[in-house]
Amino acid sequence: MGRTSKDKRDVYYRLAKENGWRARSAFKLLQLDEEFQLFQDVTRAVDLCAAPGSWSQVLSQKIGSQGSGHVVAVDLQAMAPLPGVLQIQGDITQLSTAKEIIQHFEGCPADLVVCDGAPDVTGLHDVDEYMQAQLLLAALNIATHVLKPGGCFVAKIFRGRDVTLIYSQLRVFFSSVLCAKPRSSRNSSIEAFAVCQGYDPPHGFLPDLTKPLLDHSYDFNQLDGPTRIIVPFVTCGDLSSYDSDRSYPLDLEDGSEYKYTPPTQPPISPPYQEACTLKKKGWLAKEIRPQDCPISTVDTLPQ
Ligand code: SAM
Q: What is the ipTM of this complex?
A: 0.99
Q: Detail the DSSP E strand segments found in 122-232.
A: 147-158, 174-182, 191-199
> 198 labelled as ligand-binding?
no
> What is the pLDDT, as a whole number, of residue 238?
77
pLDDT digits (tens, 9 = 90+) for 168-224: 889 999 999 999 999 999 988 899 999 999 999 988 888 888 765 544 444 544 455
Where does ligand 1 bind, in terms of residues with CB under 6 Å? 22-23, 25-26, 49-55, 75-77, 91-93, 116-119, 135
Q: Looking at the CA of residue 117, tell me the nearest atom of ligand 1.
A: 12
> What is the pLDDT, as a whole number, of residue 33?
97
Say how many Å lie between the CA of residue 77 and the centre of ligand 1: 8
> What is the pLDDT, as a whole number, of residue 66?
52
Distance CA 47, CA 74 (A): 6
Residues of the chain under the 50 pLDDT cut: 214-218, 220-222, 227, 296-303
Is the separation of the CB atoms in 177 and 222 below 8 Å?
no
Distance CA 140, CA 176 (A): 15
Q: Looking at the CA of residue 271, tell me the nearest atom of ligand 1.
A: 16
Tell me the chain's radius of gyration from C-alpha atoms.
20
> What is the pLDDT, as a whole number, of residue 221?
47
Is the separation of the CB atoms in 215 and 169 below 8 Å?
yes
**Nearest Cα residue to atom 2 of ligand 1:** 50
Q: Is residue 290 reached through a cis peptide bond, with omega within 30 degrees of 0 on the bond before it?
A: no
Would you tell me the crossing angle of helices 163-173 and 125-146 to the nearest 10 degrees?
A: 0
Residue type, 263: P
pLDDT digits (tens, 9 = 90+) for 69-96: 599 999 999 999 998 899 999 999 999 9
> What is the pLDDT, as a whole number, of residue 289?
65
> What is the pLDDT, as a whole number, of residue 212?
57
The angle formed by the CA atoms of residues 182, 184 and 190, to the nearest 5 degrees, is 70
* DSSP β-bridge partners for residue 196: 153, 177
Closest CA to 31 of 241, 202, 252, 215: 241
Q: Looking at the CA of residue 23, tell me the nearest atom of ligand 1.
A: 5
Question: pTM of this prediction?
Answer: 0.85
Is the separation of the CB atoms in 214 and 137 below 8 Å?
yes
Q: Is 181 helix (H, G, I), strand (E, B) or coil?
A: strand
> What is the pLDDT, as a whole number, of residue 247?
86
Cite the active site residues: 156
CB atoms within 10 A of CB 212: 16
Kindly tell me the sign of the dihedral angle through the C-alpha atoms of 210, 197, 220, 49: negative
Distance CA 206, CA 235 (A): 34
> What is the pLDDT, as a whole number, of residue 224?
56
> 107 labelled as ligand-binding?
no
> What is the pLDDT, as a whole number, of residue 227?
46
Say how many Å lie between the CA of residue 295 and the centre of ligand 1: 24
Q: Phi and psi for 280 in degrees, rounded to 5?
A: -60, -35
Say how many Å lie between the CA of residue 81 and the centre of ligand 1: 16
> 126 labelled as ligand-binding?
no
Say how many Å lie between the CA of residue 293 and the centre of ligand 1: 29
**Nearest Cα residue to atom 14 of ligand 1:** 51
> 7 labelled as ligand-binding?
no
**Nearest Cα residue to atom 4 of ligand 1:** 54
Kindly list the distances between the CA atom of residue 116 and the CA atoms of 26, 46, 155, 168, 285, in Å, as whole numbers in the listed order. Answer: 10, 11, 6, 20, 32
